[in-house]
Each structure stands twice: as structure tokens, then as C-alpha cells.
Amino acid sequence: MTSITRTGSARGTSTRTRRRPIRPNLVATHVVLAIGLVLFAFPFYWLVVMATSSTSDIFSFPPRLIPGPEFFNNFGQVLANTTFVQAFFNSIWLTALTATIQLFLASLAGYVFAKRRFPGRDRLFGLVLVTLVLPTGVALVPSYQIYAGLGWLNSFWPLIIPSAVSAFGVFWMRQAAVSAVPDEVIDAAAIDGAGFLRTYWTVVLPMIRPSLVALGIFQIMWTWNDYLWPLLVLGNPAQYTLPIAIQQLKGNYGNVDYSVVMAGTLVATLPLIALFLALRRTVLDNVAGSAVKG
């Protein structure tokens, strides 16, 4: 919003400079940014090149610099690796599940903190803020032992339950409810006889939808890319998630068939890139608010 008004007013005031047809500093800006763009896009490009070449092409000199015709051949070998295919589905359902739980619990708590009055509310929310910057989760051993004691090793529970609702999610959803849901709407719903859950479901949720989408994408990114805990608790190859499967693929094929590893890596990357490109504006507009996540 602010950026639109700013560019608008700048446009109106600087008629003097607008007459010049070529603005050298804008050209220089584009040159600098384009160099950066090429550097940042390059690893993606190189991944595509390697995933579509044969291993001998990758290891030849000079190496192949443009995408080749071998993608389906490589990808076929990835598909022959049942662990990888299974991991793809594991990642999809696990990500969908954790995102759904996070969105539900965080938005419910956020709504309560933002719009309901009850004793101790502000102190409890203060506690949420403190835990937001508290670096818990760095102690691996006790968590591991607790999961073991609960019988959760070699299961998905450690990846679902402990992070089911995060301090960041609650904070994020409270901000959304504070700024997007006017008190009058809540009062009107109460006068109409809507109860606690009904108000949350039919009044609050539709009004905070953009923030839900943004939090959903963040959570999807975190679960899809999570590495440390899946590595520690998932012992059975049938349970692997994609990051673990790629690591295994690298271990199994790394020295023999590099292009297969690259094809698998490329395929594992595409869903999130597609999702991000589809919801680009929502993500980009909301990232600034997530600065607190750290």
C-alpha cells in the first residue's frame, strides 16, 4: 500500500527528470540487478542442466552447458527407486497435515488473543512473545530420548505433534485478527446469537484469509524442507521424507550415477517452486511481517 502511494507521488513531483528519455542511473541499476539475477538463477539452471544430461556428459571436459535430452531416462531411474516415490507421497501428506493443524490451532488461538476478553490474557500473550525469541529446540538429546520414551521413534509423530502450533503461528494470526477483524463485526455476530466457534468459523476465518494463506505457505516450506528431525527419527526407508530420500539417493548413486541424483533433486524442488510462483504476491507481501520468525 505505502509503496504504491510513494511511487505515485514521486511520479507526480518529478516531472523535471521525466522529460529525459534515457535515465543513466536506471540503466546502471538494471545492469547491476541483472548480474545479480543471473548469479542467483544459475544454481537452478545448473540443476536443470545436470538433471537432463547423462552422468558422462556431466563429468566430461569441457562439461555440457545446456540442458540435454536425458531427463526422462534419469527420471525413470529415480522412479525405479521405490524409496524416492514413497518419500514424495510421505512429504505431500505430512506437509498437508502439519499445515492444516498449524492453521487451525494458530488461527483459533490468534482469534482468542485478539478478540476475546478473559483474565490473564495479556500476560499469557506476553509469554507467547517471549517463547517466540527463545532458542529452544537446540537440545537434541533430551528431545530424542523423550520421543523414544513415548515410543515415537520410527514414526511421524515427532514431526507432527511438537510443532503442531508454533509461537510464530499464534503471533501471526493474532496480528491478522487485530488488523483485519473490526470489533463491531464480532459484536454484531454476538447480537445475532453466534456462539464462540461459530463466530470463529464463519466470521473471523474468512476475514483473515490472506494471512492464513501466507502462514500456510511458510509452514509448507518448513515441513517440506525439514531435515534434522526426519533424519534422526525416521529409520525405516518406507517413512523417508524427500530431503532424507535425496540424501539417500546421493549416498547410493552419488559416485555412480550423478545425473539420477540431480533428476530426483529437481523433481523434489518443483512442487514448492510451482506453489510459490502461483501464490507469489501473497508470499512476497507477507514476508516482511514474518521478520520476527528469525
Partner 1 sequence: MTETAAVRRHWREYLSISPFFVLFAAFSIVPLIYALYLSTQQWDGIGDSKFVGLAQWQRLVASNDFWYATGNTFLIFAMGQIPVIIGALIAAVLLSQPRLRARGLYQTAFFLPQVTSLVVVAVVFQAVFSNRFGLTNVLLQAAKLPTFQWLTDPWGIRIVIAAMIIWRGFGYFLLIFMAGISAIDTGLYEAARLDGAGPVRILGSITLPVLRPTVIFVALTGTISGLQLFTEPQLLFGGGSGPDRGGLTMMLLQYQYLGGPGAATAQTAVTPDLGYASVIGWAVFIILLAIAALSFRFTRRGLED
* 114: three-class secondary structure by DSSP: helix
| 186 touches partner 1 (CB under 8 A) | no
| 280 touches partner 1 (CB under 8 A) | yes
Nearer to partner 1, 80 or 161 (CB): 161
Nearer to partner 1, 137 or 206 (CB): 137
Residues 188-217 that bind partner 1 (CB under 8 A): 196-197
| 89 touches partner 1 (CB under 8 A) | no
The span of 67-75, 76-84, 207-215, 254-262 binding partner 1 (CB under 8 A) equals 254-262
| 116 touches partner 1 (CB under 8 A) | yes
The helix-helix angle for 82-115 and 258-278 (nearest 10°) equals 30
Rg (CA), the chain: 24
| 27 touches partner 1 (CB under 8 A) | no
| 162 touches partner 1 (CB under 8 A) | yes
What mask, x for binding partner 1 by CB under 8 A, covers residues 119 to 138?
x-x--x--xxxxxxxxxxxx
Nearer to partner 1, 46 or 89 (CB): 46
Residues 39-58 that bind partner 1 (CB under 8 A): 40-41, 43-44, 46-47, 50, 58
In Å, what is the CA distance from 56 to each residue of 42, 53, 70, 168, 248? Answer: 21, 8, 11, 47, 21
Percent composition of the chain: helix, strand, coil (DSSP 3-state, to 5): 75, 0, 25
| 282 touches partner 1 (CB under 8 A) | no
| 105 touches partner 1 (CB under 8 A) | yes
Cell of 263: 533428476
| 78 touches partner 1 (CB under 8 A) | no
The helix-helix angle for 82-115 and 209-225 (nearest 10°) equals 140
CA distance 55 to 46: 14
In Å, what is the CA distance from 278 to each residue of 41, 88, 100, 210, 285? Answer: 18, 20, 19, 14, 14
Q: Which of 180, 194, 221, 252 binds partner 1 (CB under 8 A)?
A: 221
